[in-house]
Every structure is written in structure tokens, then in C-alpha cells.
Amino acid sequence: MAINIEAYKTLRKELDEKKVTLVAVSKTKPAEDILALYGLGQRDFGENYVQELTDKQAALPQDIHWHFIGHLQSNKVKYIAPFVHLIHGVDSFKLLQEINKQAAKHNRVIDCLLQVHIAKEETKFGMDETELKDAINKYQTGQMNNVSIKGLMGMASFTENTELVRKEFACLRSLFDECNKTMAAGLQILSTGMSSDYTIATEEGSNMVRIGSMLFGARVYIK
């Protein structure tokens, strides 16, 4: 077992006090590590790969809240639609439409976060400000009864420049507040922050963080 139990307990206490939801990023990690955190009370787990997520969902306790946090292709939505708790990376209105279509087949409403591109790297996915506002307008005027936009998600630049990271998180918080004024149901979740920058993220308004390496150790990459 590779999990850091003390780090988890300390982090969970810190985040609970701030009313921040901890999503334990369990991608590439074995079931026994997930079960170890589950035994400590953790229920929210994040996965990046559709096949890995479906395999784990079938094998692990059914009260786990599975978050899909990777880049989701439209043709893969159908595999996670029956059970996924929250989809973090909705980076186009087209993808939102597909999620709505697949959720309807299972008589579900799937909660989603719209992903906004806030980082300087071109490799990050996400909508720009114009695309974000357009997607929200279409969502509110369309007949999309099987998806619910719960908030926004963004990933900061991978850099040691903490001021840049803070600026990017603050920019997303500003967009979050602006969009909130136009949405009838209101946005509830601002999902930013990972192991390296979650402290800055929570200082800038994040109420959901995705933590992997702090809890599970170094990432294992799937080739």
C-alpha cells in the first residue's frame, strides 16, 4: 500500500475546515489504495481514463462518487453515463449535448463543470471566455433536461511562478462570479487546485480540489 495516511488525515482536516471538497485522484492506482482511503471515509475519487474508471466502478463499493477529471471524448461518454457523479472537463457545448443525450438514456441528470482555459500552456483544454458565455446561454435556452452545470473548472500553468498561478485562479474566480449572476440555478462549484497549488487555489475561492501525488505518491504513466 502506497498511500500516505498521515498526509490524508492532515489534508482532509484542513479542507473540511475550509468547506472544500477533496477529490482523491486515483488514476493508475490499484483498488487496494482506493479502498484504504475509502476505509478512512473518503468517497470522492477522480479518474482520467474511461476504461480504467469503468473497471474500478464495477469492482469497488457502489457508494463511491466517481469524478471524471480527464479530457473526455464524445464517443466515450456512453460508458460512464450510467454512474458518473461529476464530469469536470466539459470543454465544448457539443460535449455537453452528448452528455445530455447519454444521460437521458439512463433517466439520469449528470452534473457537469465547464472547463475554462486559464493557463498559458497551449496543451491545456478548455473554453475561452466567449465560448464559456455562449455555452451557458445555449444551455439556459435549450431543452437540456439531463445535464446540470454545477460550476467551473480550470488548471493553472505548470510553473513555479506562484504569482502567475494566483492570477490565473483569480481570473477564473472572477468569471465564476460573473457567470453566477446570469444563471437561474446558480453555480456552486469552483474546481481548481492540485497537489502543487491547492493552497493558492483555495485562497482564491476554490471549493473543490483534485489531489493525487500528495496522497498516493508519484504518478504512474500509462503508455
Residue-number span of the structural domain to which 158 is assigned = 5-216
Whether 169 maps to a domain, the answer reads yes
Whether 55 maps to a domain, the answer reads yes
Whether 147 maps to a domain, the answer reads yes
Task: Give the count of alpha carbons within 13 A of 96, CB side only.
Answer: 29
Whether 221 maps to a domain, the answer reads no
What nine digits make up the cell of 26?
486515483
Structurally, the chain folds into a number of domains equal to: 1
pLDDT tens, residue by residue, 112-149: 999 999 887 665 679 999 999 999 999 998 889 999 99
Residue 171 in this model has a pLDDT that exceeds 50? yes
Whether 222 maps to a domain, the answer reads no
Q: 113: domain CATH number? A: 3.20.20.10
Tell me the C-alpha distance between 31 and 23, whole Å.
16
- Give the residue with greater pLDDT, 72 vs 222: 72
Q: CA-based angle 159:161:165, to the nearest 5?
A: 80
Residue 54 in this model has a pLDDT that exceeds 60? yes
Specify the amino acid at residue 67. Answer: H
Span 75-98, average pLDDT: 97
At 64, is the pLDDT very low, low, confident or very high (cuts 50, 70, 90)? Answer: very high
pTM over 0.85: yes
